[in-house]
Structure 1
Amino acid sequence: MFADKYLTKGAVPVLITEAPDENLGISVVIPCYREPDVLQTLNALYSCDLPESSTEVIILINHSEVASEETKIQNRNTKQELDRWISGHQKKGLMFFAVGPVELRKKWAGAGLARKKGMDEAIRRFNLSDRSGGIIVSLDADTLVEQNYLTEIERFFSENPLHVGATIAFSHQTEGVENRHLEGILFYEKYMAYYKMALEFTGYPWPMFTVGSAFAVTAGAYVKRGGMNRRQAGEDFYFLQNLAQFGRVGEIAGTTVHPSARLSDRVPFGTGPVLQKWMSGQEDLTKTYNFEAFADLKLFFDRKDRLFRISEKEFGTFKKELPDAVNAFITDDDFFADVSDLNANCSEISTFRKRFFQKFNAFKILKYLNFSHGEFYQKADLETQYLLLTKNFKK
């Protein structure tokens, strides 16, 4: 079976004893931690048009081993509530499973480990029928989906069999949200659009939205990638950027996921904490990374071929031709060590070009942006930077 080694190495436990449907093709995984409105998400899924293959929804109720008694009680109540709901919502081709509450180790407890536990169970169930082409979909317990959600996901992977994953179009819920809160949501979505487009503008090959409630991955690719990470936040960002190095990650635009725009400080970063800081005046969402920082990075990426088989002396000369911020960053970051490693393992320029962005990846780009803003650039008006980008970016 395709995942035997992965499951054995990770000592993945059995969470669902009921055998999966023989036609299982989609598994939707929902981490659930203190979620009072999870039934809204399940009702949205229950209302979906059904795809040709069967779908399972795994709700992984979880908390830390050191969680408060209040949290544990709430999660136990959630399990009872879900069990009652599931008993009244049986439908051929769509099964729901409420798992837990699962206690997570204090060191790793958080969104990443909870998502991993649920996804690993999906892998275990796909492995029973050796279905490496099964689709694991990541969703959150405060997120709504549209009626064609499941059918569009199935259609995309059917029409794009070489893709290992896909992001899904999203738009935050705004009903009942007013004034400054609504303004913050709109600014945040525009910032996300700006950042993704700016990455594409630089020549970075894997620009994408990384939203935990809006992506899917094939079971085979999930295993090859080594599974979900255990990060307490940002697990989606790291997972998808690494996944893109294994194969094509596309975009599903035919349906839209609607994450909650609630204020939250439960994780270090993401929509909730960003909006919380905006509301309290700690974060100015009208400002963003300066377009010039991306323009300078594009100049560097456009010249990356010159780094193939370059000597350390030649690299020193090369750096001086770059914009000051890029020069300072690759010096501080000792990027020549990465270039040397690439040249030691790439005999052809085509291989070098591909692997270059495994070294100067999305994590390093973010590091560059944070390094360079202050001494070399200042964050600037979001609307202005967005207009500058669209004016200069000719696809």
Structure 2
Amino acid sequence: MSKDYYFERYAWKTPLIPHFSPPTDLEMVVVIPAYKESQLGLAVHSILACSKVACRVILLIVINAPEQSSLDALNLNQRAYEEIKQIKDTDQITIQVVNIGLPQKKAGVGLARKIGLDEAARWFKKLNHSGILVCFDGDCRCSDTYLAAIYSAYKNHNLNAGILAYEHPLDLESGIIPYELGLRYYTDGLRYSGYPSVHQTLGSCITINSDHYCKHGGMNTKKAGEDFYFLNKIVRKPGFAEINEALVYPAARISDRVPFGTGRALISYQIDKENILTNYNPLIFEEIKIFMTRLPEIIQGQSPNLPTAIQKFLNAVDFYQKLDKLLKNSRDLTSFYKQFYDWFDYFMILKMIHFSRDLVHTNLPLEAGLSHLNENYWKIAPFNTLTLQDQLIKIRALNRLGQTSL
């Protein structure tokens, strides 16, 4: 998709700052959607405190609220807006902030993030060069290497898009430790299974080249989970990588601003701790591993034995009929696998996991899953005698190194 076509058909039509002229040397825009953020200033100062980066940066803050928001929410947004307006630019970073209402039907973090990213992409189109778009959130902090690591990844490694490493603050009482362990258990369980291109899906950790953003249809307008949908489009495209030289620190706090995610999970933890302390049965990942191992045989027309739940799922989604179509429409194996994983994507593998969970492998205590994955994948020693916090610290280190054993 061309940039012109994207802006004609899919972009947010109204410029956020109509009379703003971006500096000609602009190379990076960090977009922060914010709704009812009482500590937005801390997020901004976290970025301003980053070590020097060799480019011009704009920090675009999209304070937003649904049209029918409460007076309390609107007042909080206005206070945040006034606070940000008082923060001074630096030599390298210019702050642009708006406070807008969103259509009630579509209002949410997805639309707010899209509006900001579309505005930044529009600036780069106006400047006639591509640039770096970065997603951040109003309740996050970052390491001081944040801007420099992102810039270096694009300039030195031909990056088109990427995902930054993350670590929640370690709070023993909030439930964030088992919550983050669950996130890492899921992604590493899929990596262990052999499913390709597995990365964490946190909206505050995404970055993408502005041309690449337009080419692949831009951000969606989901009220929550916009990050999952967006990454599902771009994660298997050329030039995608993890940026582990910097960290994003998402907040570990209770929040009801979106229907699911960290804040909602921590609310759930306060009500019923078992909601976070159980997770997928590791046998599901073992059975997906069998499927991934035998996939080449299936593609060649053979009928290898598969676990019952996997076979029933494949039948339920008309897998073999779809496979025949893809094979007929592919000129070679490279073309086939590209089309195959466009179909058998993050959504499809999640459906497979849920199908298996509901049919055979009910959820187990998180610790049982962690122990199994460690024995077969992480191989951290010792492990089972460690506290959950120490297990998380070890797994984080492995993830940042891109290795499976430490």
Shift, 1:11, TM fit:
5.3
Alpha-carbon separation, structure 2, partners of 1:217 and 1:233: 19
Q: Which residue of 2 aligns with 1:70?
A: 72
SS of the residue corresponding to residue 393 of structure 1 reads helix
What does the per-residue CA deviation read over 1:129-171, in whole Å, with 9 as the maximum and x for residues that have no partner?
Answer: 2222x1111000011112111111111111211x321111111
Q: Which residue of 1 aligns with 2:299?
A: 308
Shift, 1:121, TM fit:
0.5
SS of the residue corresponding to residue 213 of structure 1 reads helix
Q: Pick the aligned partner of 1:173 from 160, 169, 172.
A: 169
Aligned pairs (5 A) from 1:275-290: 275-281=266-272, 283-290=274-281
Q: Does 1:139 align with 2:136?
A: yes
What does the per-residue CA deviation read over 1:69-95, in whole Å, with 9 as the maximum and x for residues that have no partner?
Answer: 33223323322222123xxx1222210
- Matched to 1:253, the amino acid is N
Shift, 1:309, TM fit:
6.3
Gaps spanning 5+ residues in structure 2: where? 379-403
Alpha-carbon separation, structure 1, partners of 2:72 and 2:12: 30
Aligned length: 376
Give the TM-score normalised by structure 1: 0.90
Alpha-carbon separation, structure 2, partners of 1:349 and 1:214: 32
Shift, 1:295, TM fit:
1.0
Q: Pick the aligned partner of 1:106 from 104, 107, 132.
A: 104
- Matched to 1:167, the amino acid is I
Shift, 1:178, TM fit:
4.5
Contact 2:12 2:115 (C-alpha < 8 Å) held by counterparts: no
SS of the residue corresponding to residue 159 of structure 1 reads helix
SS of the residue corresponding to residue 117 of structure 1 reads helix
Contact 2:41 2:80 (C-alpha < 8 Å) held by counterparts: no
Q: Does 1:130 align with 2:132?
A: no
Aligned pairs (5 A) from 1:27-106: 27-85=29-87, 89-99=88-98, 101-106=99-104
Gaps spanning 5+ residues in structure 1: where? none
Q: Does 1:356 align with 2:353?
A: no
What does the per-residue CA deviation read over 1:371-393, in whole Å, with 9 as the maximum and x for residues that have no partner?
Answer: 21133102122222223223223
Q: Which residue of 2 aligns with 1:204?
A: 195
Answer with 135-144 or 349-358: which moved more.
349-358
Q: Pick the aligned partner of 1:330 from 303, 314, 318.
A: 314
Q: Which residue of 2 aligns with 1:4?
A: 4
Question: Kindly, what percent of the aligned residue pairs are identical?
Answer: 32
Shift, 1:269, TM fit:
1.4
Shift, 1:211, TM fit:
0.8
Q: Does 1:224 align with 2:215?
A: yes
Alpha-carbon separation, structure 2, partners of 1:283 and 1:106: 34
Q: Which residue of 1 aligns with 2:396?
A: none
Contact 1:309 1:343 (C-alpha < 8 Å) held by counterparts: no
SS of the residue corresponding to residue 20 of structure 1 reads coil
- Matched to 1:203, the amino acid is G
Alpha-carbon separation, structure 2, partners of 1:11 and 1:289: 39
SS of the residue corresponding to residue 359 of structure 2 reads coil
Contact 1:61 1:102 (C-alpha < 8 Å) held by counterparts: yes
Alpha-carbon separation, structure 2, partners of 1:385 and 1:309: 33
